[in-house]
A = this chain, B = another copy of it.
Amino acid sequence: MANKAQDESVTAKLTINDIARMAGVSKKTVSRVINRSPLLNAQTRERVEAIIRETNYVPNPQARALALGRNFLIGMVYDNPNQQMILSMQRGVLEALHDTEFELIVRPVDRGSARVMDDIRGFIVRQRLYGVIILPPLSENDRLAQLCDNEGCRYVRVGSAVLDDNEHMVVSNDRDAVAEAVRHLIQQGHRRIGLIAGPHGFRSAKERRDGFELALAEAGISLPRSLIADGQYTFESGISASESLFDLSPRPTAIFASNDEMAAGVLYAARLRGIQVPEELSIIGFDDTPVTTRVWPPLSTVRWPIMAMGRAAALKIIGVAIGEGGQVSEPSTFSSTLIRRASVAPPSGG
């Protein structure tokens, strides 16, 4: 118990003044050590650092925040139906923040609301955020990036197209990945390939669709409008979209769904109709969420490195702060991989 009390005091009560006194220097000197000021006698620095280490002193973030006008908090702003993605992104970010002085504060918003911008501005300004990580599709809003800039808040946008400079952007190349996936279907012999597109207002939906069309065009396969069905990135929309595709005659022999949830919907709808997968229908999804391996047959899909992107986004924001030289250029573009599972096979009829 005595030990415990001691721990507390060590952790909580020590101030910069205590350290200054113990080190026989002024508090400003301690402050300089904390902030890695370059103009400091090496010996002085070491002495102070030693004491800091011994005492386990940690500067009070609230006081720093007040004095600096800036907090050591990173915000993650999002409004995305893909729960798995959000969580993976969080994990990636948290991994990068681990053992730093930064913490992550999560902020779902409603991008439909008339006050989103003001909400986010309020959030950033009030908390004096060090930086924000913006997830798609919110990240596609240039005004939001503007806003961050204006408020002097670092930001990184996560998205599927280059919308900003390197320092502010982490990109997955959805188009190429989908093109590869569709080429795979074509190689297997498929010619009538359906697309379940993502919702308007999602850049990823456009990119994936572009990739789809690209691969078909390359192979000289025409794409009647009827082979494209609109989806909302949800399981239910995947079901209804595939039903319209199933009504076609002849039926597509393969379907690329713009995300896994919808791909799971295709599989479900196929079962309802008694359509065998993959014998009568091949399916490819996108995201590589856990559901792809839970269903039968396991779904082929495109895996994108969500956690790595989250990590990179966080590092872009805190990189300079955690003293990694000046030019830590985190990679900005991440490539995806086609994961082949049992939901794809050559078409049966030919």
Chain A: residues with CB nearer than 8 A to chain B?
4, 7-8, 11-12, 58, 60-63, 65-66, 71, 73, 83-84, 86-87, 90-91, 94, 103-108, 118, 121-123, 125-128, 150-151, 235, 264, 267-268, 271, 290-291, 293-296
A172: shortest Cβ distance to chain B, in Å? Answer: 20
Q: Is the CB of A62 within 8 A of B235?
A: no
Asked whether A8 lies within 8 Å of B151 as measured between CB atoms, the reply is yes
The 5 closest A-B pairs by CB, nearest first: A62-B65, A62-B66, A264-B294, A12-B125, A105-B105
> How many identical subunits does the complex contain?
2
In the complex, which residue of chain B has the Cβ closest to the Cβ of A73?
B105
Q: How far is the CB of A248 from chain B (nearest CB, A)?
A: 23
Q: How far is it, in angstroms, between the C-alpha of A61 and the C-alpha of B105 when the chains are bound?
A: 15
From the candidates B105, B108, B264, B296, name the one contacting A91 in the complex (CB within 8 A): B108
Contact partner, A103, options B7, B60, B127, B295, Cβ 8 Å: B127
Residues of B within 8 A of A151 (CB): 8, 12
How far is it, in angstroms, between the C-alpha of A126 and the C-alpha of B271 when the chains are bound?
54
Known A90-B106, A105-B105, A296-B296; contact A126-B235, beta-carbon cutoff 8 A: no
Known: A83-B84, A290-B235, A295-B296. A103 touches B94 (CB 8 A): no
The one of B4, B71, B125, B294 in contact with A150, judged by C-beta atoms closer than 8 angstroms, is B4
